[in-house]
Amino acid sequence: MSVLAVVALLAVLIFVHELGHFLAARLQGIYANRFSIGFGPILWKYQGSQTEYALRALPLGGFVGFPDDDPDSKIPPNDPNLLRNRPVLDRAIVISAGVIANLLFAYFVLVSQLAIVGLPTSFSYQSGVIVPQVISKDAVAAQAGVKEGDLIVAVNGQTLEASAKATDSLRQAIETNPGKPIQLQIQRKGEPVSLTVVPKADDQGRGRIGVQLRPNGSTVYQRPSNLFSIFGIAAEEFQRIVVLTVQGFGQLISNFSKTAEQVAGPVAIVATGAKIAQADSASLFNFAALISINLAVINILPLPALDGGQLAFLLIEGLRGKPLPMRFQDGVMQTGLVLLLGLGVFLIIRDTVNLIPQ
């Protein structure tokens, strides 16, 4: 169920983004003849009075189409309500509206979280430490039989009590015993399992077994007593996430060779969101805001086939007083779209393969 919830969430974020473009055009009287979620073959469509609404096979985004270059369009090429005939500012509003819609959506998701669930104030600990992820099939833990979702209840005969220190105790036992066997007592789907793991020394001589660890328990939420303070608190959280997202993209660009493997595609995002939903369904609010802000930041980058690339062309047009040749713009955008779709397909295949048990 959590996987379906995350897939639905991503579909909503794409819909919000494209709806921003669509409404920005319609509210200015600009023609928009297509509204599609996804790319590729049409799975479902509805023809409205002015616009064709469609769901397509490849869930890698969506688009709003304009009749400007439609050879079958009956609209005169000099019609002032065609997008290309509008002033630069009008077109910039349409192109940037998707990013603005995602940012507004993220903010109101945070407002909804505070109003419905509240702020995370504390953590209610239970005994043991959870293994949310085994890094790879070649990791020491995987070779020893440790699986995702395992609850480690004891290490070397020492019970991991219900406290904040349980995760640190387990981590210390692993790091201080490189090359030495340690005994793990595990609860797996209600059944006890005993495993022996030999940590492998890293470059600094600390033991590693190749797993992520998470405290066992649940987050305690509390709603603000003053309803009017919700908007201010949400704004602070919104600002924090935006700053962290921009910093993250800055690090990705400056250290691309080291961080490229961390780029996640739709499959990895769904898998991560599903794990978050299973651990704490309330945290899906924050996850939704985070992904929506990431979608906005990605789209504003000045890259071909993205909103930022089109805004860059508009900026050049505003400075030159005339647009760049359409043949050049179309070539750049089509090349960018092919590369973007290729990257999306690659990430889907890579992430899917990584999720398949080996």
Where does residue 258 fall: left (phi above 0), alpha (psi -120 to 50 degrees), or beta otherwise? alpha
| Contact by Cβ (8 Å): 110, 285 | yes
Q: Is 18 part of the annotated catalytic residue set?
A: yes
307: helix, coil or strand?
helix
Q: Which strand (E) or helix (H) includes residue 234?
A: helix 229-254
Determine the angle formed by the axes of helices 229-254 and 284-300, rounding to 10 degrees.
Answer: 50
Q: What is the DSSP string of 71-137?
A: TT--S-TT-TTSGGGS-HHHHHHHHHHHHHHHHHHHHHHHHHHHHHT-EEEEEEEEEEEEEEEE--T
| Contact by Cβ (8 Å): 100, 289 | no
- In 3D space, the residue among 17, 12, 7, 6 whose CA is nearest the CA of residue 63 turns out to be 17
Burial class, 102, CB count within 10 angstroms (exposed 0-12 / middle 13-18 / buried 19+): buried
Please tell me which residue in 18, 191, 237, 261 is annotated as part of the active site: 18
Catalytic residue positions? 18
